Amino acid sequence: MTYELPPLGALPDEAITIGAHAEDWRAAIRVVADALVASGAAEDPYGERMIALVEQFGPYIVIAPGLALAHARPGPDVLAPGLALVTLAEPVAFGHAHNDPVSVVIGLAAAEADQHVASVAGLANVFNDPSVIPALAEAASADEIRRLLSRAAEPGLS
């Protein structure tokens, strides 16, 4: 099926939460789930399903130092393909041997298993620059986050 997520640099305000306070990794995932719900991508059960995935397989979603990519399988609680991004005021341990603590959590929702491709390739373009995760963690505004997410996606910089 055709699928196109909005460009990363066009994430709506509702999908961005800056400086959230989370006491543990479950709370951090719930914050990003709230942002997915607020931006219309998912309904409430999706957050608990993202948590369940980590409970089942461990903290493998912490895919780079300081960054967790929270997600779950497609399901009826996904309303539209979407991304959300949360920065944490205090970094949180997910239990990953190498990449803890986490200061940036991205939530990914896909309604079909093949819907992630375009958006995820874009994420790879952005985060292959190792300076982006600490810069996002320090960002003070949604505009700054959008600027960082669109910067590396510009032609010629990938």
Q: Which is nearer to other proteins, 15 or 89 (CB)?
A: 15
Taking the C-alpha atoms of residue 59 and residue 141, their distance in angstroms, rounded to an integer, is: 28
Q: Is 6 in the site for other proteins (CB under 8 A)?
A: no
Contact, 101 vs 60, CB < 8 A? no
Q: Which is nearer to other proteins, 118 or 140 (CB)?
A: 118
Is 116 catalytic? The answer is: no
Which x/- pattern over 37-56 shows residues binding other proteins (rule: CB under 8 A)?
----------------x--x
Q: Is 71 in the site for other proteins (CB under 8 A)?
A: yes
Measured from the CB of residue 115, what is the shortest distance to other proteins in angstroms?
A: 8
Closest CA to 104 of 87, 90, 121: 87
* Number of amino acids touching other proteins (CB under 8 A): 33
Taking the C-alpha atoms of residue 142 and residue 15, their distance in angstroms, rounded to an integer, is: 9
Q: Which amino acid is at 87?
A: T
Q: Residue 74 has what DSSP assignment?
A: -
Q: Residue 47 has what DSSP assignment?
A: H
Q: Is 148 in the site for other proteins (CB under 8 A)?
A: no
The phi and psi torsions of 135 (rounded to 5 degrees) equal -65, -40
Residues 6+ apart with CB under 8 A from 5: 81, 82, 83, 118, 119, 122
Q: Which is nearer to other proteins, 70 or 145 (CB)?
A: 70
Stretch that binds other proteins, among 20-28, 85-93, 121-129, 142-150 (CB under 8 A): 121-129
Measured from the CB of residue 57, what is the shortest distance to other proteins in angstroms?
A: 4
Interacting residue ranges for other proteins, rule: CB under 8 A: 53, 56-61, 63-65, 67, 69, 71-74, 96-99, 108, 110, 113, 115-117, 120-121, 123-124, 127-128, 130
